[in-house]
Amino acid sequence: EIVLTQSPGTLSLSPGERPTLSCRASQSVNSSYLAWYQQKPGQAPRLLIYGASSRATGIPDRFSGSGSGTDFTLTISRLEPEDFAVYYCQHYGTSPKYTFGQGTKLEIK
Amino acid sequence: EVKLVESGGGLVQPGGSLRLSCAASGFTVSSNYMSWVRQAPGKGLEWVSIIYSGGNTYYADSVKGRLTISRDNSKNTLYLQMNNLRGEDTAVYYCAGGSAYYYFAMDVWGQGTTVTVSS
């Protein structure tokens, strides 16, 4: 079973800064099946990135994903006020079918 | 507009049953993969179950044998039958889905329905 570990748990930054969120898999995974989601309080998650680096429809280009093997990264080039949220990485595999990381909370400093 | 709307959540006693529904519009449940994902209070996301367009179903170990995913193609609706509920099943339950274009990522989500298991 693949375990996804996200770091840091919480990131305190100011608008305009450039955060890098990490997602590490316990074993090498197919990057085609690595996704990132954003979740704001009281809302459903929203797909940001699929296939490790492809932006979903309507996602601003300040969001970018990269990585392969066991190490994946979500970068926001310049933080906007609406970007403060919790971010989850997710892998689609065999058993279980989906695994989520524990999340990184991006909070306003 | 693509929309998923969950319903059927509520308060249920341990050992009880509940059926969640997820009605889709602008999106064909039977043509895509559909999952249930839950989130316990203050916790992260946990995948529960998936049904593929071909009808195959899979479950997380924590719910196997107690929760059953199904769909009604004529109603374009996804279901989750929940039996023998436990306190640890308390969560917001989201239905979510997508097309193979997204490499099995979930690009469409409902707003969630809350299940509380308590005596």
Whole-number pLDDT of residue B100: 79
Q: Which DSSP category does B83 fall into?
A: -
Looking at residues A1-6, what average pLDDT do you find? Answer: 96
Please state, in angstroms and as integers, the Cα–Cα distance from residue A100 to each residue in A88, B39, B95, following that order: 7, 11, 15
**B52-79 pLDDT tens trace:** 999 999 999 999 999 999 999 999 999 9
Here the tokens at position B78 are 């996804």
Looking at residues A74-91, what average pLDDT do you find? Answer: 97
Looking at residues A7-21, what average pLDDT do you find? Answer: 97
Looking at residues B6-26, what average pLDDT do you find? Answer: 98
Whole-number pLDDT of residue A109: 92
Residues 6+ apart with CB under 8 A from A23: A4, A5, A6, A34, A36, A67, A71, A72, A73, A74, A89, A101
A95 contacts in B (CB within 8 Å)?
58
Using DSSP, state whether A109 is helix, strand or coil: coil
Whole-number pLDDT of residue A71: 98
Fill in the amino acid letter for B100: A
Are residues A33 and B104, on separate chains, in Cβ contact within 8 Å?
A: yes
Exposed, middle or buried by CB within 10 Å (0-12, 13-18, 19+), for A103? buried
Whole-number pLDDT of residue B78: 98
Looking at residues B76-92, what average pLDDT do you find? Answer: 98
Closest CA to B88 of B46, B36, B51: B46
**């889709």: which residue's tokens?**
B24
Are residues B103 and A35, on separate chains, in Cβ contact within 8 Å?
A: yes
Looking at residues B19-36, what average pLDDT do you find? Answer: 96
B61 contacts in A (CB within 8 Å)?
96
